[in-house]
Amino acid sequence: MVQVGIIGASGFTGAELLRIAAQHPDFDVVYATGDSQAGVRAAELYPSLAGVYPDLMFEEFDLGRARGLDLVFLGLPHEASMAMAPQLIGHVGCIVDLSAAYRLKDPACYPMYYGFRHDQLGLLDEAVYGLPELHRNDLKGAALIATPGCHVTTAVLALRPFVEAGLVDRQGVIVDTMTGITGAGRKPTHTNLFTSIDSNVEAYGFLTHRHTPEIEQELEAQVLFTPHLVPMSRGLLATCHARPADGATLSTGLLLSVLRDRWAGEPFVVVTDGSPSTKATLGSNAVHVTARYDERTHTVLAIAALDNLTKGASGGAVQAANVALGLDETAGLTKIGIAP
């Protein structure tokens, strides 16, 4: 069995990691920290976990307890993860970081988008971006994995095939997303108050959202990104627009064919003729994608949906860890959503 530690297990992504680990045939969670919830049973904070973790207690972090484990997930704030990784690298089999601390290859982006300077440039260079659909070969045997942002995974899986095929202009791509409230984290704020989110849709992060450079990095295109907070617990829908590349002759049939060819054999990408929906992916590690070409406005429309806590965070982290450790990539994960 793979001995697993989850540092920061009391947050939403930590709870999702515990849920997935419970159904993983090779994972044994032996250490789960949550400093603000230390001494609290996981089943008390998240009753949904009671059937599998009736006695698991959140602990305070102890470096000695983490070292020696086969796999450690970091569910910490960005700067905390940046500081934690050097203490664990070489002492655990694999580190999977769910923060943005090691996602961006250009260190100059960190002061601009995250407000801190990156002081672990060697590890930043060594970290592997944890999107298996693009970086599977690099993930094999990786010691440090940077889990993608949820908006990024959705937009990139919707658009990347068209960029690679030279079908769309790499300038002026527009990505609009709608996301559930769990993306804001578990800590109570004005944003996630019931009275703020109920019956309300609101755009945020105008022009400077932190996922913008990450989308551009993985899409290899210039992007205008605007996320919107909507009144649902979990889920994310991306609506993307791009202009055809010079000389490209496009049709809806061609775009769907490109998607199917590019994602053929991918266990968690579902190309559909219909309209992707967040409910269809709820609780699963699946991404549903589709595309249309509008001849009237000469615009490529690409749409994708996923569960922001699963494929968009913890599920994607487990998928990448499976690849790194040489396990079945689909272990512990499903592409079947919960419906109705």
Distance of CA 336 to the CA centre of its chain: 18
Residue 137 neighbours by CB under 8 Å, 6+ apart: none
Give CA–CA dist 51/100, Å, rounded: 32
| Prediction pTM value | 0.95
- Report the candidate in 217, 235, 234, 237 with the shortest Cα–Cα distance to residue 226: 237
The residues assigned a catalytic role are 150
Tell me what pLDDT residue 198 has. Answer: 77
Q: Is the pLDDT of residue 192 over 80?
A: no
Instruction: Measure the CA–CA gap between 71 and 28, rounded to whole angstroms.
Output: 10
| pLDDT band of 339, cuts 50, 70, 90 | confident
Residue 332, CB-side half-sphere exposure with 13 Å CA sphere: 28
The dotted CATH code for 150-308 is 3.30.360.10
DSSP 277-301: -HHHHTTSS-EEEEEEEETTTTEEE
CB burial of residue 72 (10 Å; 0-12, 13-18, 19+)? buried
Residues of the chain with CATH 3.40.50.720: 2-126
* All CATH 3.30.360.10 domain ranges in the chain, comma separated: 150-308
Q: Supply 1's token pair.
A: 């069995």
Q: Does residue 229 contact residue 184 with C-beta atoms inside 8 Å?
A: yes
pLDDT, tens digit, for every residue of 140-184? 999 999 999 999 999 999 999 999 999 999 999 999 999 988 776
Assess if CATH 3.40.50.720 describes domain 2-126. Answer: yes
